[in-house]
Amino acid sequence: MVFRIAILLAATSLAAMPSVCHGQELDEFPDSALTRGQWQQRLEQARRRSEEFVANARANNIPAEEFDRDAEASERAMNDHTLQPGDIVATNKGLFIFTGKDEVRGTSNFTLAPKPPPRP
């Protein structure tokens, strides 16, 4: 019985396999005609472009507009008229608690939130 199942499994596997391989031919690849020297030249150019990109990324760590957006978002949050005393506001300078002492909104209405104790 096991022998019949094995033969049936092998026969269906062979029948299911395509008789013609539909893989890509080597001629379809544009880089297939490159010589070793041309390939090494392309590799070196790509390496230089990569090194330039990394150097630029390290030099321009965070764009200035991102700092501006963070400061602007923090300013909007601290001037929000829906804040109630005790509300916590997350800013680009840390967490602040709204005290609501003055009628006019501003930094005098906030105290720096205490840092949580370290976890055991």
Residue 28 lies in a domain: no
Q: Which token pair is 118? A: 């370290």
pLDDT digits (tens, 9 = 90+) for 58-116: 777 655 555 677 888 888 888 888 888 889 888 888 898 988 876 666 677 888 888 87
Residue 105 lies in a domain: yes
pLDDT above 70 coverage of the chain, percent: 73
Instruction: Using the CB atoms, write b or e for 63-92: b if 16+ within 10 Å.
Output: eeeeeeeeeeebeebbeeeebeeeeebebe
Distance CA 22, CA 5 (A): 30
Residue 41 lies in a domain: yes
Residue 78 lies in a domain: yes
What is the number of structural domains in the chain? 1
State which residues form the domain around 101.
Answer: 36-120
Amino acid identity at 85: P
| Mean pLDDT, all residues of the chain | 77
Residue 2 lies in a domain: no
Residue 26 lies in a domain: no
Residue 15 lies in a domain: no
Residue 115 lies in a domain: yes
* pLDDT tier at 30, thresholds 50, 70, 90: low
Amino acid identity at 59: A
**51-64 mean pLDDT:** 74
